[in-house]
Amino acid sequence: MGVKSYPLERFIFECCPEDITCVADGVYLTFENMAIYSQKPCLNDFSLETDVFENISDDEYEEFYSKACDAAEISYQARFENDADESIRLWKELFGNKFDDSDNNENSNSGFTKPNKKASVPSGRFA
């Protein structure tokens, strides 16, 4: 698929809200915001002022858009699912084995340590 690397990063920057309180909110809200763009957007590179999507065909964007809409639905369900096992299944549907559920698996050898307090998202811009 043509939407990759910097164009995807630029699109995520456009769509991810700044006031998120947890990673799950950032994921599902970013996908939901992407799903608003049914037509390929014009997103300028910040330094060059050229459209980062200009080399992405309409067909490639349509394929990406379809997947972003599917991901928006799945991530919303995963975020608000009350059953932990079902939520994990849905997140794994999106992220595959990169989604680490080792805090629910005593036999895991991934090096993951369950946090002992809630993570805080620092204010300000990143990068």
Domain ranges of the chain: 5-99
- Burial (CB < 10 A; 0-12, 13-18, 19+), residue 84, is exposed
9: tokens are: 């990063």
pLDDT at residue number 108: 43
79-111 confidence digits (pLDDT tens):
999 999 999 999 999 998 888 776 555 444 444
For 30-60, b/e burial (b = at least 16 CB within 10 A) is bbbbbbebeebbebeeeeeeebbbeebeeeb
* Token code pair at residue 125: 């811009």
pLDDT at 55 over 80: yes
Report the predicted TM-score, pTM, of the whole model to 2 decimal places: 0.73
Query: Is residue 54 scored above 80 in pLDDT?
Result: yes
Summarize pLDDT for 5-20 with one digit per residue, the tens: 788 899 999 999 998 9
**Looking at residue 5, what is its pLDDT?**
78
